[in-house]
Amino acid sequence: MAQLIDGKAIAARVRAEVQVEVARLKADRGLIPGLAVVRVGEDPASKIYVTGKKKAAEEVGFRSWEHHFDASISQDELLAQVRRLNDASAVHGILVQLPLPKHIDAELIISTVKPEKDVDGFHPISAGNLSLGRPGLRPCTPAGVMRLLEEVGCNPSGKRAVVVGRSNIVGKPMALMLLQKDATVTICHRKSDLPREVAQADILVVAVGVPELIQGDWIKPGAVVIDVGMNRKADGKLVGDVAFQAASQRASAITPVPGGVGPMTIAMLMRNTLLAATGGV
Ligand SMILES: NC(=O)C1=CN([C@@H]2O[C@H](COP(=O)(O)OP(=O)(O)OC[C@H]3O[C@@H](n4cnc5c(N)ncnc54)[C@H](OP(=O)(O)O)[C@@H]3O)[C@@H](O)[C@H]2O)C=CC1
Ligand SMILES: Nc1nc(=O)c2c([nH]1)NC[C@@H]1CN(c3ccc(C(=O)N[C@@H](CCC(=O)O)C(=O)O)cc3)C=[N+]21
């Protein structure tokens, strides 16, 4: 049986580290990091996520604001709101919750966030820095995965890593971060021969959004398996992209869903906001 990677507990540790640094910043410099979250429309999943973020921000001692707009807000008005947050000196981090309504060009909105305040790590400047191997704000989910690997003593150097999914917010930055740690990286998508590629993986990261797409018997014995997928079933329960029971028979370590990568995403958002406030990247 695989070791269960307790993302919930590790995330709590990351938040505790941030909390200590925030207390020191307040005492030494009178500086309180501030995080602004922009939410548009009534996506129920977004609402849950934003609530989790608010709780975490309070816990670590940040100021936080949620700016909620009706789904009918115009693109120009949303752009104006983002610019206002860019100019607000108490705001060190800005997160525009995705997805945005269809009449809004999400890429344009993301590019309008000041790169120094881009705590999601989605701005083209942040993506460019990552791709060039320069310091910068990193996307929270893959950054959280890297921390999980570290915590279970899994050093990617020289290992075969397979990332399933190539989105700009998870799969692609994940592959680049593993590459930066000297893994030999394969990126898979709809046209890939998944059973063949997955069988090669010493480290498998799956970020697809298809319930239990990855079958247990594809997994290389001893692999470390990280399941980013979050799929809600009809009964309200969450399942990942990996068939968990069968996979845990072969993996050496595996993340559960929920309680794996999800809490790490929020914890790394807190870290990024602290970094943005101190200019520490
Ligand atoms: N835990 C967390 O903190 C977070 C969880 N998530 C979850 O992670 C999952 C992925 O999110 P995201 O990256 O935004 O998703 P996207 O929909 O943007 O990307 C999905 C990727 O999976 C690939 N894919 C889809 N179906 C298949 C298939 N049948 N075989 C192989 N590849 C496939 C797509 O390939 P192609 O490019 O060829 O279309 C695409 O590259 C979702 O479940 C999401 O809810 C996301 C963000 C944070
Ligand atoms: N600009 C932007 N940045 C994001 O980082 C972003 C986004 N938009 N849009 C949506 C996705 C999704 N995402 C999650 C984060 C935490 C959990 C999380 O904490 N999950 C808990 C379970 C929560 C539950 O029970 O529903 C867990 O896995 O244990 C889930 C999903 C961030 N995203």
Q: Whose CA is nearest to atom 15 of ligand 2?
A: 262
Number of domain units in the chain: 2
ipTM: 0.98
Q: Which ligand is nearest to the CA of 187?
A: 1
Residue 76 annotated to the active site: no
Q: What is the pLDDT of residue 281?
A: 87
Residue 23 falls inside a structural domain: no
Report the C-alpha gap between 2 and 254 in whole angstroms. 6
Residue 267 falls inside a structural domain: no
Residue 207 falls inside a structural domain: yes
Q: Compute, in angstroms, the gap from residue 169 CA to the centroid of ligand 2.
A: 12
CB atoms within 10 A of CB 160: 18
Q: What is the pLDDT of residue 181?
A: 98
Residue in this structure with the two tokens 């200019």, named with its chain if needed: 279
Residue 81 in contact with ligand 2 by CB distance below 6 A: no
Report the C-alpha gap between 102 and 278 in whole angstroms. 35
Report the C-alpha gap between 115 and 131 in whole angstroms. 15
Average pLDDT of the chain?
97
Residue 103 falls inside a structural domain: yes
Residue 7 labelled as part of a binding site: no
75 and 168 share one domain: no
CATH of the domain at 256: 3.40.50.720
Residue 97 annotated to the active site: yes
**Residue 236 backbone phi and psi in degrees, to 5:** 90, -15
99 and 174 share one domain: no
Residue 2 falls inside a structural domain: no
Is 90 exceeded by the pLDDT of residue 227?
Answer: yes
Is 90 exceeded by the pLDDT of residue 79?
Answer: yes
pLDDT tens-digit map of 97-141 = 999 999 999 999 999 999 999 999 999 999 999 999 999 999 999
Report the C-alpha gap between 110 and 39 in whole angstroms. 13
Q: Quick one: tokens of 161?
A: 């890593």
- Using an 8 Å Cβ cutoff, are 46 and 97 in contact? yes
Is 90 exceeded by the pLDDT of residue 44?
Answer: no
Report the residue among 49, 97, 112, 174 best suited for mutation to probe ligand 2: largest number of ligand atoms under 8 A from its CB: 49
Cross-sheet strand order for the sheet of 203-206:
3-4, 253-254, 224-227, 203-206, 160-164, 184-188
210 and 158 share one domain: yes
Q: Whose CA is nearest to atom 25 of ligand 1?
A: 208
Residue 9 in contact with ligand 2 by CB distance below 6 A: no
Q: Closest Cα to residue 266, out of 97, 22, 84, 41?
A: 97
Q: Which ligand is nearest to the CA of 214?
A: 1
Residue 173: pLDDT band with limits 50, 70, 90: very high
Q: What is the pLDDT of residue 35?
A: 98
237 and 158 share one domain: yes
Q: Which domain holds residue 171?
A: 140-262
Task: Calculate mean pLDDT across residues 221-240.
Answer: 96
Is 90 exceeded by the pLDDT of residue 150?
Answer: yes
200 and 246 share one domain: yes
Residue 232 falls inside a structural domain: yes
**Residue 229 backbone phi and psi in degrees, to 5:** -60, 145
CATH of the domain at 34: 3.40.50.10860
Q: Whose CA is nearest to atom 22 of ligand 2?
A: 258
Q: What is the pLDDT of residue 147?
A: 98
Q: Compute, in angstroms, the gap from residue 51 CA to the centroid of ligand 1.
A: 23
Cross-sheet strand order for the sheet of 34-40:
63-69, 34-40, 93-96
